[in-house]
Amino acid sequence: MKNIKLVLSYDGTDFCGFQMQKNLRTVASELDKALSTINGKKINFTCSGRTDTGVHAEGQVINFYTEKENMSEFNWICALNSYLPRDIRVIDASFVPLEFNARRSTLFREYQYFIVNEKTISALWYRYASLYFYEELDIDLLQKYANNLLGENDFTSFCSVNDKNISKSRFIKKFEISKDKNIVKFRIIGNAFLQHMIRIIVGAMLELHKEKRPPEDIRKILLAKDRSLAGPTYYSKGLCFKKVYYTEEDLKLI
């Protein structure tokens, strides 16, 4: 018996999220077909974090157990990519200890959100970033908003009302805003995230920015634990699941 860890990238545009859903095209349903074909039977797998409809991934991680002993790590990459559609790619495969679990073994997850801050958006960015054309974004002000969300907090104000988690407490280790020419990047690293949490945070920050409200106002929204105060959920296409951190060595790269 082998435990195999896969790192996946996918373009989430044409998927109804990661999780298996009846009669809908999802990342999990495509993986299920490919893994079942190669193994000759249905294979259960675990993912490091589910992504919503339209959300992309560069470093999604899954693991599964198999009795196939005659395939190398590289063979798994080639075999799976030959059965998977072009908008899902296996970019790495490795044999890991049997106790490794893609979800439970996670220390931190990193997401990035991309915004084109311009009058219009290039066709090359259209599927992977949202457009903000109202004004030039003040990166220093956005960073001050982000700093008010660091550490462990109750993020009830910044999650979907449909979120099923009993605890809304999450720990944000790093939250950085940067700009390269007209591309604004939100980089957020946390132990876990609630449903729509990052998209709601981005939407709230942009609303505060538009009104030129002081940085402490986002802290007031956070402490109120009231979803109605945080504004709209921002677009899914700008969000990418970037990386999963499993070891202390990984954390040195943050």
State the catalytic residues.
Answer: 52
> In this structure, are strands 108-116 and 183-190 parallel, antiparallel, or unpaired?
antiparallel
Residue 55: CA count within 13 A, CB half-sphere:
25
Taken in order 111, 211, 121, 15, the sign of the CA dihedral is positive
**Three-state secondary structure call for residue 100:** coil
Helix (H, G, I), strand (E, B) or coil at 90: strand
What are residue 112's DSSP bridge partners?
187, 240
Residue with token string 């599964």? 64
Per DSSP, the three-state class of 134 is coil
Q: CA of 98: how far to CAs of 1, 3, 46, in Å? A: 8, 5, 13
Please name which of 52, 17, 57 lies closest in space to residue 243, comparing C-alpha atoms. 57
Burial class (CB in 10 A: 0-12, 13-18, 19+), 228: exposed
